[in-house]
């Protein structure tokens, strides 16, 4: 059975669990009514199922390659990308004045979820372009916007982000790339960047690189970094790709997965670029793109988890060992866990997106803080679920899961990097207990209060959810009493516990909406009775004495 986009699941979530109706009631998103969104999701699902999903194995078996300096995409990717660009999917949230649709990010995340489940390697290309569009909308001058945005939105050109260097990974402030003024408003950008996803492409007529580099008078660290637009081909007077710029792909990385997505080592050799935003303020501009990408990467994990769950369920229904293995208790346990985790993580991501949408539509500081607090959880938990569910999918397949021909292992290999790129999951957790608690815990307390309010109903599944909210609240207050640096050792565990409690809330909402006993109530019971108890262990780890961790020396670990 081929991949099937979970269109019905999105419809249920948007109606009953993370409602879209409040967004449609705003002036900015008035066109995002239920009927319009249902049509958009159905069409995106059809494209994902019929055009993108058949490319999943092709990209893995025939990777992107570099031939005499020319990048060659995997077979069929031209057709797949053409469907994405031609359908207007890249500009779903972009400014209508530049050719976008101006729809909510929540709808875009649902579309990205389906595309990721169909073919993650190809979906990564428009994802990066979408992030660049948002960065340019916020930080580029009008002339740059007029030149680049329509072409990026249409998919005629594509975008990348260039942060990482061999010596500067998570420590971006250690980068060495430099930019020298050319005297005509442009700059000569020189340096090497690594891990550049889709750093080159034969699917578009121009590749537009956003590059972090230092001006001659720049300070050390992140405060001295500027952002530059450096296109592969220099636009001519009419805005068409002209002369080749002084940049090249040095090599392609040999990766564990995502073989259809070329990950490039890029060399900029005095390449012509233009400043995006103010000098020395490049990190602020790049973080606009990165924050967009962090939520989107969490959604990538969820999309892959959905595909892995579908494949494992199909196999379990067909595989006979003392009867169909789907009848065995342990297999049912794994499949129910996979499905319950996907639903919970999907709701976290969509809740985050709708909060950010509401902030854009209304200017609400409360909505912005809510979305900001949910972003590291959505990124980290979405990708963790992608990894765990795809790993469990291999287990359901048994020995056949370890055989590449079944395709079960590809999901794990492809999704594993999502916990690493766009800020490792450990960095996301530190952000949650650091910057996201810097307001005294106001936004986090509000989220916990929502969980408690959802659980304040007469329903058999409500009491454990209420208890989870109380335990999370107590742990949060204990962490707030510590200095930020003393929270970091338990940050990952705290994020996991927070995600567990949020997931329980969404499952309870689903059960309440279903009313009578049904599949969503049974799934909610599985999550709340079998998975939610793990919250206690996570919070105990989060509150463990930080001194004990600090006392473990490097010599201890190398003994």
- Would you name the residues annotated as active-site residues? 422
Token pair recorded at residue 312: 């494992």
Sign of CA dihedral 443, 444, 448, 451: positive
Task: For residues 492 and 430, give the distance between their C-alpha atoms in angstroms, rounded to a whole number.
Answer: 7
Task: For residues 306 and 311, give the distance between their C-alpha atoms in angstroms, rounded to a whole number.
Answer: 9
Task: For residues 400 and 319, give the distance between their C-alpha atoms in angstroms, rounded to a whole number.
Answer: 11
Q: Which of 479, 477, 469 is nearest to 434 (CA)?
A: 479
Would you say 384 and 393 are in contact if contact means Cβ atoms under 8 Å apart? no
Task: For residues 51 and 532, give the distance between their C-alpha atoms in angstroms, rounded to a whole number.
Answer: 38
Task: For residues 189 and 270, give the distance between their C-alpha atoms in angstroms, rounded to a whole number.
Answer: 5
The DSSP letter of residue 218 is P
Task: For residues 455 and 467, give the distance between their C-alpha atoms in angstroms, rounded to a whole number.
Answer: 9
Q: Secondary structure of 70-129 in the HEC alphabet?
A: EEECCCCHHHHHHHHHHCCCCCCCCCHHHCCCCCCHHHHHHHHHHHHHHCHHHHHHHHHH
Distances (CA, A) of 133 to 228, 435, 527: 14, 26, 38
């Amino acid at each position: 059975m081929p991949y099937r986009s979970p269109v019905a699941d999105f419809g249920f979530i948007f109606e009953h669990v993370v409602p879209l109706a409040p967004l449609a009631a705003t002036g900015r998103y008035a066109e995002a009514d239920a009927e319009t969104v249902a049509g958009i999701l159905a069409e995106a699902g059809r494209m994902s199922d019929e055009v993108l999903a058949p490319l999943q194995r092709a990209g893995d078996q025939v990777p992107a390659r570099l031939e005499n300096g020319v990048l060659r995409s995997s077979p069929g990717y031209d057709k797949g990308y053409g469907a994405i660009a031609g359908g207007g999917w890249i500009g779903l949230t972009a400014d209508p004045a530049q050719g976008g649709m101006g729809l909510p990010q929540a709808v875009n995340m649902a579309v990205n979820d389906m595309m990721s489940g169909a073919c993650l390697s190809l979906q990564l290309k428009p994802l990066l372009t979408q992030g660049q569009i948002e960065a340019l909308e916020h930080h580029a001058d009008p002339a740059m916007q007029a030149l680049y945005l329509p072409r990026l939105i249409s998919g005629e050109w594509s975008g990348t982000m260039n942060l990482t260097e061999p010596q500067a990974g998570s420590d971006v402030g250690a980068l060495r790339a430099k930019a020298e003024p050319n005297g005509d408003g442009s700059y000569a950008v020189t340096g090497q960047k690594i891990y550049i996803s889709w750093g080159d492409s034969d699917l578009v007529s121009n590749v537009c690189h956003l590059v972090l580099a230092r001006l001659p008078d720049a300070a050390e660290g992140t405060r001295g970094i500027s952002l530059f637009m450096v296109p592969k081909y220099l636009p001519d007077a009419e805005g068409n790709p002209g002369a080749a710029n002084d940049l090249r792909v040095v090599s392609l990385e040999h990766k564990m997965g995502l073989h259809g997505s070329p990950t490039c080592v890029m060399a900029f050799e005095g390449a012509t670029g233009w400043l995006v935003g103010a000098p020395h303020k490049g990190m602020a501009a790049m973080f606009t793109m990165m924050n967009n990408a962090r939520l989107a990467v969490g959604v990538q994990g969820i999309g892959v988890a959905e595909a892995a769950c579908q494949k494992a369920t199909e196999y379990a229904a067909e595989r006979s060992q003392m009867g169909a293995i789907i009848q065995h208790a342990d297999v049912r346990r794994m499949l129910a866990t996979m499905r319950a985790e996907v639903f919970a993580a999907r709701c976290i991501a969509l809740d985050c997106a709708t909060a950010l949408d509401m902030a854009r539509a209304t200017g609400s500081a409360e909505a912005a803080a809510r979305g900001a607090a949910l972003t590291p959880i959505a990124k980290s938990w979405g990708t963790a679920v992608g990894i765990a569910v795809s790993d469990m999918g291999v287990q359901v397949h048994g020995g056949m899961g370890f055989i590449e021909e079944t395709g079960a292992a590809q999901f794990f290999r492809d999704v594993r990097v999502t916990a690493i790129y766009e800020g490792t999951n450990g960095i996301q957790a530190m952000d949650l207990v650091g910057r996201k608690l810097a307001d005294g815990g106001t936004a986090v307390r509000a989220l916990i209060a929502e969980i408690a309010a959802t659980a304040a109903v007469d329903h058999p599944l409500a009491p454990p959810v209420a208890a989870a909210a109380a335990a999370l609240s107590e742990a949060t207050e204990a962490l707030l009493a510590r200095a930020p640096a003393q929270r970091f050792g338990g940050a990952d565990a705290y994020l996991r516990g927070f995600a567990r409690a949020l997931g329980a809330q969404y499952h309870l909402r689903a059960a309440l909406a279903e009313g009578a006993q049904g599949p969503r109530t049974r799934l909610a019971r599985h999550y709340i009775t079998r998975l939610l108890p793990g919250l206690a262990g996570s919070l105990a780890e989060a509150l463990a004495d930080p001194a004990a961790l600090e006392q473990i020396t490097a010599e201890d670990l190398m003994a």
